[in-house]
Structure 1
Amino acid sequence: MYRISLEGRGDFGEWRDAARACLAAKIPPHDMDWRLRNESAGLFGFEDDSALPAAKGDASVSVPAAFMPLAQAIVCHSDPSRFALLYRLLWRLSDDRTLLQLKADPDVARARNLEKSVRRDSHKMTAFVRFKEVPLPEGIAGRRRFIAWFEPDHFIVERKADFFQRRFTDMDWLIATPKGSARWDGETLETSRIAAEKPDLTDETDELWRTYYANIFNPARLKIKAMTAEMPKKYWKNLPEANLIPELILGAEARVLEMAAKAATEPQLFHHRIQAMAENRPAPALPDADTLEGLKHEARSCTLCPLHCTATQTVFGEGPSRADVMIVGEQPGDQEDLAGRPFVGPAGKVFNEVVSQTGMDRSKFYVTNAVKHFKYEPRGKLRIHKRPDVTEIEHCRWWLTREIDLVQPKLIVAMGATAVFALTGIKGKLSDLRGKPMPMQGDRLLFVTVHPSYLLRIPDEGKKAEEMRLFREDMATVKKMAEQICVNEVRSMRTDSTFIDMSLGIDLARNDG
């Protein structure tokens, strides 16, 4: 059994060097005893004062890219067993580079939990560090100086020092913690792993914080579990206003009843004043209803189906007011719902990339969706896409039809089964329609292909590559069809001498240049 002692205060290089030496000596994890330095003397305190055996090969080791950030976070954890866990993972990765992908593996699961704890502690540090200004000595001018005290669970000061340097670069500051300190003087960022003692930071601003907090505390929205989850009680002792929280919680119910009684008896003069101002405000000029801008303005207040109740906003189409090619997708995704623009999420990036690869310009397309509101299923903090049903598609077809009437495209590209159904009413297999131009009313063509989001959902990499190739071929066909449309328009212009004379002033039949 070989024993190695480390300082263990967040220094990744300290563990890395020791681990390399052990790997070079081919020492398996079960023969290693990793200790903190205060548990045994010396950097390398081996049993029987024996040194590591001679290296039996190259000390370097190739690891997956994901291992480095994982190890750098875990080294900052305060669990004494973290070094043994990391060495065990490192030893196993030499035989199986896919180890970190096995979420059910006990070592991997434990490592992820440690990493999560360090990330959470880092987040809390950015949220609860509060600086207090330190007065400059009388007669001395200079930058303002601040000091803060924080009590992290782990050795995260060095990890977060850069964050505070970027955020508060215009002042001198010191963050002191029991697990190290960080200092910025406007030019140099210094960190120390030496434990600091808590300074006395009480001053007259503490009372201001208590007054402010007492006035913004809303008893009607009190959720104790959520509040303590976001601001655990261990941080309260360093926040002057926190000693008000127990009293405010106890009196919350009485204050809610008091607020309700006042609301029922007191005149709402302030609200009346706001209403009067709103009524006297001149109405903004509305865009022409027979334009895309007018249609977009009208769609913002669409309530044709229940989807408007949960979506952030209507996501209308965008592009030239007259475009030869119109792209119709299914519905907005999560990012489109937030941005208010179509095809800006992951599927939109795939679409943009393929359009660019085929030599086309997206800005010349009119891009829209069959359904204008995001339909989703909440899953924790995520909003998971949910396919719109027939009724929702049919309600939204009214908007899509008006877009087509205004844009007057010669070619409509339907991406996915929902778009095909909205445009044609057909519910057949997409594979039966894909890649086959079909005539539509108004002397325009319909071309069917898959939606880019389908490509992102394919788990098999081989099949995904094949489907991506087919999608590129479809978009190359779209390019050829668009080019043919332009050629046909030029030919029709050449045969229409009246149009040529009035619009161009030249005769293309006699001047091909």
Structure 2
Amino acid sequence: MRHIALPKIGTAVAWRDAARALLGERVPPSDVIWGGDDTPPELFANAPAAPPDRSDITVPRSFVALANSVVWHSDPQRFARLYALLWRVQSAPWLMSDRGDAEVAKLRSLEKGVHRCQHKMKAFVRFREIGDPAAPRRSFAAWFEPTHHTVEPTAQFFCRRFGDMDWRILTPDVSAHFEKGVLRLEDGADAPDLPDDAHEELWVTYFRNIFNPARLKVAAMQSEMPKKYWKNMPEAVAIPELIATAPARARAMAEAAPTLPPAHAASAQAMQMRNVSEWTGSACAMRDALEGCTRCDLHKGATQAVPGSGPVDADLMIVGEQPGDQEDLAGRPFVGPAGQLFDQAAAHAGLTREALYLTNAVKHFKFTARGKRRIHQRPTRSEIDRCAWWLNAEIKQVAPKLIVAMGATAALATTGSGQAIMNRRGKIEDGLHGGKVLITLHPAYILRAQPAEVAQQAMRDFQADLALARRIISGDAVSPSESPAISG
């Protein structure tokens, strides 16, 4: 029978060396008794010999990480449990990922307990100054009572966090001393008589002011801040009063809170905020920024982003849905079949492309691949909303007298609604940007319309809408029969 005694300080290294030696000699877990350095030495005289050279011994990395935590737990069986698992994983390394294994589950629970104790130590250690505040290196001390043996593995956190001062953390088990940048671990100590801290009153005042009575859950608070730590935390003196007065304070906060706007108002505000652009740069800079846009996933499949085209002081802005296959390749809007049809209708209405600012509600081509062809797909509401940031920036820069929204997507992006386009076409509505929007058909609809009579009528309606837009921005008189209805 092998008897192994491990020291209180340096436990992780000592257990690792002992386990390696035992494993090298093929000593089974049933032949090993583990203990700490507080066990009577005469019972633990047979330490393992130096490990033989066994190149076939392998240890999974996950086990190393587990052992480096579990050795600091207070469970007296932790060393034996770790060695038993180490013995098993030599022939079954997959056990480390077996959540159904009872022994692995137990050790994972111990590991979690150690991590939780380390977190509590980082959160609840309270230092008090014990040296001269004017000294080159100020000196502090704290008393803490950890649940497990976590001073040694947690000390490096305090070395990094408080490297510019001397400090000591005293516990009943092991104490950490940090002086002039050097860490020293010693045996535990009795609770010291630490001086009062002049800053504690200010700290308690701060704690009172950040306490939110409306969010108080006593059970959850005591789970995260167990009572065993309260006696060493200066802010704990305020906790009973804060708990007792929380209900009354929460009611007072609710009564003093402002009333909420109606649901439809909140919805309208949210819609408007989605379209608010913070762009303040030039048109050229916006083109460069648009090229790198990743606000939605459409950039992943498209060849490039297609910005608007035309004079930035145009009186009339034309907004379509999105670039098509040819626009995606050329990097310019309205150069495909729909764009050619638009040019014909615009010329018939007395408009020239050179005087218009043409753009799309969505700047990347959305499609589905069918062999070598790329078939257009309508953008989703989310994609339209995300790209509205760029459309709104263009509207701010151009500041047109009138926007012509061609089709449902453009209408949705500019007015907030993409419904009932046939009933709305030829009418002027209030835009989300604060200006006016004339609703009309999209040229692609005309190209697909069947039979020919429907397509011809749609073309005449489209031409009439563009002619109306020209007369509005020109200030020409509009006869009562063709005066657009204005909806707000």
Superposition TM-score, scaled by structure 1 size: 0.52
**Structure 1's 33 and 288: CA in aligned 2 closer, same or farther, altered over 3 A?**
closer
Separation in 1, partners of 2:327, 2:152: 57
Change (3 A) 1:60 1:129: farther
Matched, 1:26 2:61: no
Structure 1 residues 59 and 292 mapped into 2: Cα distance closer, same or farther (>3 Å)? closer
- Aligned residue in 2 for 1:501: none
Indicate how the Cα distance of structure 1 residues 177 and 295 shifts in structure 2: closer, same or farther if over 3 A, else same: same
- Aligned ranges 1:141-156 → 2 under 5 Å: 141-156=135-150
**Shift of the alpha carbon at 1:400?**
12
> Alignment RMSD, CA only?
4.2
Secondary structure of 2:300's aligned partner: strand
**What secondary structure sits across from 1:175 in the alignment?**
strand
Paired residue secondary structure (2:301): strand
User: 1 CA distance for matches of 2:162 and 2:240?
Assistant: 33
SS for the counterpart of 1:251 is: helix
Change (3 A) 1:285 1:7: closer
Counterpart of 1:62 in structure 2 is: 58
What letter corresponds to residue 44 of structure 2 in structure 1? G
Corresponding residue of 1:423: 366
Contact preservation (8 Å) 1:5, 1:40: no
Q: Give the superposition deviation at 1:193.
A: 4.3
What's the CA shift string for 1:102-144, capped at 9, x where partnerless? Answer: 111111111111111111111222222222222329xx84222
What's 1:252 paired with? 246
Paired AA for residue 327 in structure 1? K
> What is the match of residue 85 of structure 1?
81
Match of 2:160 in 1: 166
- Give the partner amino acid of 1:30: S
Query: Does the CA-based 8 Å contact 1:150-1:176 persist in structure 2?
Result: yes
Displacement of 1:317 in angstroms is 4.8
Give the equivalent residue in structure 1 for 2:17: 17
Alpha-carbon deviation of 1:284? 9.4
Q: What does the per-residue CA deviation read over 1:226-275, in whole Å, with 9 as the maximum and x for residues that have no partner?
A: 322322222211111213212221221122334455669xxxxxxxxxxx
On the 8 A contact 2:19/2:83 being kept in 1, the answer is yes
The alpha-carbon deviation at position 408 of structure 1 amounts to 3.5
Q: Secondary structure at the match of 1:198?
A: coil
Q: Contact 1:287–1:294 (CA<8 Å) still a contact in 2? A: no
Whole-Å Cα distance in 2 between the matches of residues 366 and 250 of structure 1?
60
Residue 29 of structure 1, CA deviation: 0.9
* Separation in 2, partners of 1:223, 1:406: 60
Amino acid in the other structure paired with 1:41: P
What's 1:437 paired with? 372
Distance in 2 (CA, whole Å) between partners of 1:133 and 1:28 is: 51
> Once the two structures are aligned, what percentage of the paired residues are identical?
42
Q: Match of 1:98, SS?
A: helix
Task: Report which structure shows greater RCO (CA 8 Å, sep ≥6).
Answer: 2
CA distance in 2, matches of 1:130, 1:315: 46
Asked if 2 retains the 8 angstrom alpha-carbon contact of 1:291 and 1:406, the reply is no
CA shift in 2, pair 1:195/1:407, >3 Å: farther
Closer/same/farther in 2, CA of residues 118 and 258 from structure 1, 3 Å limit: same
Relative to structure 1, the CA distance from residue 154 to residue 410 in structure 2 (aligned partners, 3 Å threshold; closer, same or farther) is: farther
Say if 1:4 and 1:33, in contact at 8 Å, map to a contact too: yes
Pair 1:408–1:122, CA change in 2 (3 A): same
Aligned equivalent of 2:191: 198
Measure how far apart 1:34 and its partner are.
Answer: 1.4
User: Aligned equivalents of 2:84 and 2:294: distance in 1?
Assistant: 51
Select the residue among 292, 295, 320 that pairs with 1:316: 295
Q: What residue in structure 2 maps to residue 184 of structure 1? A: 178
The one-letter code sitting in structure 1 at the alignment partner of 2:86 is L
Q: In the TM superposition, what is the alpha-carbon distance from 1:35 to its structure 2 partner?
A: 2.0
1:215 to 184, 209, 218: 209
Quote the Cα distance in structure 2 between the aligned partners of 1:219 and 1:84.
47
8 Å contact kept, 1:20–1:59: no
How high is the TM-score relative to the length of structure 2? Answer: 0.54
**Measured at CA, do residues 9 and 407 of structure 1 come closer, stay the same or move farther in structure 2, by a change above 3 Å?**
farther
Contact 2:125 2:142 in 1 (8 A): yes
Equivalent AA in structure 2 for residue 199 of structure 1: P
Q: Return the alpha-carbon distance in structure 2 between the equivalents of residues 8 and 410 of structure 1.
A: 73
Deviation at 1:191, TM superposition (A): 3.0
Amino acid at match of 1:222: L
Equivalences, count: 312
Match of 2:44 in 1: 45
Q: Which amino acid aligns with 1:125?
A: M
SS in 2 for 1:142: coil
What letter matches 1:99 in structure 2? Answer: L
**Post-superposition offset of 1:151:** 1.8
Report the Cα distance in structure 2 between the residues aligned to 1:79 and 1:400, rounded to whole angstroms. 70
Structure 2, unmatched stretches of 5+, are 259-275, 307-318, 332-364, 377-488
Does the CA-based 8 Å contact 2:143-2:171 persist in structure 1?
Answer: yes
CA distance in 1, matches of 2:225, 2:143: 16
1:71 aligned to which of 67, 70, 76: 67
| Equivalent residues of 2:142, 2:170 under 8 A apart | yes
Per-residue deviation, 1:77 = 1.0
Counterpart in the other structure of 1:383 = none
Aligned with 1:34: secondary structure? strand
Give the 5 Å matches for 1:97-496: 97-136=93-132, 141-188=135-182, 190-201=183-194, 202-260=196-254, 286-287=279-280, 316-317=295-296, 326-328=299-301, 402=322, 408-409=328-329, 423-424=366-367, 436-439=371-374
Cα distance in 2 for residues equivalent to 1:17 and 1:6: 10
Q: Which amino acid aligns with 2:158?
A: F
The alpha-carbon distance between structure 1 residues 82 and 29, as it changes in their structure 2 partners (threshold 3 A), is same
Q: Which blocks of at least 5 consecutive residues in structure 1 are unaligned?
A: 265-282, 298-313, 319-324, 330-363, 368-398, 412-421, 427-432, 442-513
